[in-house]
């Protein structure tokens, strides 16, 4: 248990430090008629999916994390058993929408670990922070769509060791299209979907209210990734 707590605290500190040092990427609206034309060669890739889990932001100290985890044991066990329903095939759904517009689409089978790509040397507001250009030759495409789900599960906010609200189902991530010729975004959208239980949430062990909220959140999250390609 202590090893897990220390590991979680390290992740929280890393995320906090990264968030302070990095400026959020502003959204870039996808202009379908310009970006996706007949025979445009596009790869569609997805980052590795995270495990479905509970998250307790605000419980920052070791004791706070331990108390938050201990008081939500049943919820965590239930959350970890929830499916990633629909998300593993999300890139195939995007590929279908692109093909409907005449694009020449390659679906990247393996998960794309963007963290392993080199940093981009050019820095502008619309330039990707990572250098995606090596993927142009690797996949024989001109552009790449990346679907990234960073957090999935149930989140309950804390202030130290005290919960400050009911838990909610959450999906957080981003979707973007990079032009591999100049490494610029032709689409960028941060995804942040949350759903609360209707009525009571604290109904262990099956948590029906939160479970319904989770599946509603999953549907809304998938739609958020697909909607730009349907316009």
Summarize pLDDT for 172-225 with one digit per residue, the tens.
999 999 999 999 999 999 999 999 999 999 999 999 999 999 999 999 999 999
With a cut of 90, say whether residue 3 has pLDDT above it: no
Give the contacts of 154 (CB within 8 A, at least 6 positions apart): 53, 54, 55, 75, 79, 167, 168, 169, 170, 210, 214
The string of pLDDT tens digits covering residues 29-85 is 999 999 998 999 999 999 999 999 999 999 989 999 999 999 999 999 999 999 999
Is the pLDDT at 12 greater than 60? The verdict is: no
pLDDT of residue 18: 39
Q: What is the model's pLDDT at position 72?
A: 97
Q: Say whether the peptide bond before residue 205 is cis (omega within 30 degrees of 0).
A: yes
pLDDT band at 122; cut points 50, 70, 90: confident
pLDDT computed for residue 97 by the predictor: 97
* Confidence bin at 22 (pLDDT 50/70/90): low
d(CA 112, CA 26): 22
Domains and CATH numbers, the chain: 31-229 (3.40.50)
For residue 127, what pLDDT is reported? 95
Q: 6 pLDDT band (50/70/90 cuts)?
A: very low
Neighbouring C-beta atoms of residue 137, cutoff 10 Å: 9
Residue 14 pLDDT > 90:
no
Mean residue pLDDT across the chain: 91
Average pLDDT over residues 8-27: 56
Q: How would residue 5 be classed by pLDDT, with cut points 50, 70 and 90?
A: very low
Query: How far apart (Å, rounded) are the C-alpha atoms in residues 95 and 102?
Result: 11
């Amino acid at each position: 248990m202590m090893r897990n707590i220390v590991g979680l605290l390290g992740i929280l500190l890393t995320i906090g430090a990264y968030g302070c040092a990095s400026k959020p990427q502003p959204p870039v609206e996808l202009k379908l008629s310009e970006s996706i034309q007949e025979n445009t060669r596009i790869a569609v890739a997805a980052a590795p999916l995270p495990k479905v889990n509970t998250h307790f932001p605000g419980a920052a100290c070791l004791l706070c994390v331990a108390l938050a985890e201990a008081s939500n044991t049943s919820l965590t066990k239930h959350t970890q058993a929830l499916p990633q329903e629909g998300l593993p095939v999300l890139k195939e759904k995007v590929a279908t929408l692109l093909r409907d517009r005449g694009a020449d689409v390659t679906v990247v089978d393996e998960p794309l670990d963007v963290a392993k790509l080199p940093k981009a040397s050019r820095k502008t507001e619309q330039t990707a922070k990572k250098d995606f250009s090596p993927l142009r030759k690797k996949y024989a495409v001109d552009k790449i769509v990346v679907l990234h789900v960073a957090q999935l599960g149930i989140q309950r906010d804390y202030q130290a060791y005290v919960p400050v609200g009911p838990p909610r189902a959450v999906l957080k991530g981003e979707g973007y299209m990079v032009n591999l010729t100049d490494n610029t975004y032709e689409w960028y959208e941060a995804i942040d979907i949350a759903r609360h239980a209707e009525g009571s949430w604290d109904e262990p062990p099956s948590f029906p209210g939160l479970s319904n909220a989770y599946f509603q959140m999953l549907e809304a999250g998938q739609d958020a990734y697909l909607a730009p390609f349907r316009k």
